[in-house]
Structure 1
Amino acid sequence: MMISVIVPCFNEEEAIPLFYEAMEKVRLQMQETFEYIFINDGSKDGTLRVLRELSAQDQQVHYLSFSRNFGKEAALYAGLKEASGELVTVMDVDLQDPPEMLMDMKAMLDADPDLDCVGTRRVSRDGEPPIRSFFAKLFYRIMNKISQVEVVDGARDFRLMRRPMVDGILEVSEYNRFSKGIFAWVGFRTEYLPYENVERVAGQTSWSFWSLLSYSIEGIINFSDMPLNIASYTGFFTFILSLLMMIFVVIKTLVFGDPTIGWPSTICIILFLGGLQLMTIGILGKYLSKVFMETKKRPVYLVKEKSKK
């Protein structure tokens, strides 16, 4: 049985040989055929050189090299399109996705023909900055409260999928992609294997706190219209509140002859309403930008170089 291994890479020249070595040990234990598909996502180091050398040594190693950095989501989509195996897995090259878990994942699929996917989820975040762990947990809580799909807390992109599920994911060809949400949205029966957090074997992560925060916001917007509802509810509530305040001011002036004064309070109200309007416009603009990008029909990625199969 062919297993396609999809590996996005961005400035990972040090980690690629270590990843390949570890995966080959697992392949020999599993006695399966692996097809490696590395995606060079516009790396600035020697990643492409390492991939060329590795592809020349092993015919089962293939690579795509993007014309620039299109992001991990584009790399995952490109890898899924290139994969030809009956089973497909998505893995990080830094070995934070333990390769040996593939044996357990494959065993679970073999034991249950109705199971479509075996995913992984981290049950600890040892080694991560506390603030990142806090916001990660907060993201999953918010996402599962407001989204139509359930994203498992700690779920990784690392999973082993049968071909029908992969084909279903490829049917979702939208430009704005959030794979964790797409994996859940397509359905298919999935079970998760827990594991402890693993540190990178080499190199530095390209994910900063702000890039992860931006990625989380993208995920919420892609799979929920709740921010739009919040803006509408807030606007309606503010309108009712201002109407009640207006009635109160008129009655107070007519009955008690007490003209309303208070320049500071007026400025505070104006600033509050102005900020509320700007926030609402920002939410609308975020959704409108998504529609704008989808209607452009731009390709998700562009390939500059590709290995021969």
Structure 2
Amino acid sequence: MTPKVSIIIPLYYAENLLLSLFDSLEEIAISNKDVFSVEVVFVDDGSKDRTFELVREIRPKYFTFKAIRLARNFKSYIAILAGINEATGDYITFLPQDLQEPPELVEQLFAQIQQGYDVAWAVRNTRADAWLDKMFSHLFHRFMHWLWEDWPSTGADMFMITRAVANVLLSMQEKNSHISGQILWSGFRQTRMFYDRRKRKVGKSGWSFWKKIELAVSVITQFSYFPIRACTGMGIILAFAGFLYGISIIVNRLTFQISVEGWAATMVVMLVIGGFQLIFLGVIGEYLWRTFDEVRKRPVYIVMEKIEG
């Protein structure tokens, strides 16, 4: 009996992409029918267009499918997690709706994971994106690699995992996280392969600059204590500098070398210290908010509608 591979497809305003996506999924299923069967799990992440209505109309010949519609936009990580919860395959992977990641990666990842691994990563070698996107991605992934050596320095957004790894991910139930970081954190036997990311052919990315910043903050605070440690280090440096400045003031006062002037210096010191204090409070607030969001125990996502293909 051939194993089953579940392919999760997070959808967000994808009505113009579904036709090419459907054709690619059929090609994957046809070309690998003797190696593995294909189950596709579509997850509509709160689209307001006709995406889910079009999913209802698909009639695949070579793969089975399920589809769920989330009550609102919960973001791609949560959409993938919802798809994992619905998937029934022995192995689970996902494809972005824009197909910038080549669909043939599915069979390549399957070949890798058959060599005795629990996780197979597709690591970006090059990416055909706008220079600003490439620069932001490069800086983020380099920084994450500096913080966490296991994090690929060029980024790895596509993976294939076994059912055992999927069960671990489902047990975490974290809202403000990143699935790549969770897989890396979980351990297991992992391998990597490299690929070139394609240029987007249709539409534009739903990832705005501020969404990317929000994601970066979530990932850094979820998997690293570096911001807190950095605040502690800067606080110690400022305290030491303030101590030395205080000694200088005392010495000058005792030797009658303090002049009446000094308002500008005092204001500079107050503004600098006040600015650092606000930064520190902001960093602490980021961690506290994420803690509060987790302990409220609200559902990670809400399914509004489901299709069993």
Report TM bin, short chain.
over 0.9
Say how many residue pairs are matched: 305
The letter for the 1-side match of 2:53 is: R
- Out of 36, 42, 56, the position equivalent to 1:38 is 42
Q: Go from structure 1 to structure 2 and tell me whether the alpha carbon gap of 1:260 and 1:189 turns closer, same or farther (over 3 Å shift).
A: farther
Return structure 1 stretches of 4+ with deviation > 4 angstroms. Answer: 55-59
Tell me the residue number matched to 1:18: 20
Q: Residue 26 of structure 1: CA displacement?
A: 1.9
Decide whether the 8 Å contact of 1:54 with 1:61 is kept in 2: no
Tell me the residue number matched to 2:242: 242
1:260 and 1:53 map into 2 onto residues whose CA distance is 82
- Out of 109, 114, 121, the position equivalent to 2:113 is 109
Tell me the residue number matched to 1:2: 4
Is 1:48 aligned with 2:66? no
- SS for the counterpart of 1:85 is coil
The letter for the 2-side match of 1:140 is: H
1:59-100: CA deviation from partner (whole Å, max 9, x where unpaired)? 712100011111111101100111100011111011111111
1:167-205: CA deviation from partner (whole Å, max 9, x where unpaired)? 122222122221121110111122222111202232221
Decide whether the 8 Å contact of 1:55 with 1:62 is kept in 2: no
Q: How does 1:92-103 map to 2 (within 5 A)?
A: 92-103=96-107
Q: How does 1:255-270 map to 2 (within 5 A)?
A: 255-259=255-259, 261-270=261-270
- SS for the counterpart of 2:92 is strand
Tell me the residue number matched to 1:298: 298
The letter for the 1-side match of 2:251 is: I
Decide whether the 8 Å contact of 2:145 with 2:153 is kept in 1: no
Q: Residue 109 of structure 1: CA displacement?
A: 2.5
- Out of 93, 96, 108, the position equivalent to 1:89 is 93
The letter for the 2-side match of 1:162 is: T
- SS for the counterpart of 2:156 is strand
- SS for the counterpart of 1:228 is helix
Q: How does 1:56-75 map to 2 (within 5 A)?
A: 60-75=64-79
- RMSD, aligned CA: 1.8
Decide whether the 8 Å contact of 2:37 with 2:63 is kept in 1: no
Tell me the residue number matched to 2:133: 132
- Runs of 5+ consecutive residues of structure 1 not aligned to the other structure: none
Decide whether the 8 Å contact of 2:26 with 2:63 is kept in 1: no
1:181 and 1:260 map into 2 onto residues whose CA distance is 57
TM-score by length of 2: 0.93
Q: Residue 258 of structure 1: CA displacement?
A: 3.3
Q: How does 1:129-208 map to 2 (within 5 A)?
A: 130-147=131-148, 150-208=150-208
Q: Go from structure 1 to structure 2 and tell me whether the alpha carbon gap of 1:49 and 1:124 turns closer, same or farther (over 3 Å shift).
A: same
1:95 and 1:72 map into 2 onto residues whose CA distance is 15
Identity of aligned residues (%): 29
Q: Which moved more, 1:69-78 or 1:188-197?
A: 188-197
1:243 and 1:152 map into 2 onto residues whose CA distance is 42
Q: Residue 158 of structure 1: CA displacement?
A: 1.7
2:247 and 2:204 map into 1 onto residues whose CA distance is 60
The letter for the 1-side match of 2:238 is: T
The letter for the 1-side match of 2:297 is: K
Is 1:223 aligned with 2:240? no
Q: Which moved more, 1:270-279 or 1:167-176?
A: 167-176
Decide whether the 8 Å contact of 1:3 with 1:88 is kept in 2: yes
1:144 and 1:260 map into 2 onto residues whose CA distance is 52
Q: Which moved more, 1:289-298 or 1:248-257?
A: 248-257
Tell me the residue number matched to 2:280: 280
TM-score by length of 1: 0.93
Q: Residue 260 of structure 1: CA displacement?
A: 5.7
- Out of 121, 124, 128, the position equivalent to 1:122 is 124
Q: Which moved more, 1:53-62 or 1:17-26?
A: 53-62
- SS for the counterpart of 1:196 is strand
1:17-68: CA deviation from partner (whole Å, max 9, x where unpaired)? 2111012112111113111100001101110111111168887121000111
Q: Go from structure 1 to structure 2 and tell me whether the alpha carbon gap of 1:251 and 1:260 turns closer, same or farther (over 3 Å shift).
A: farther
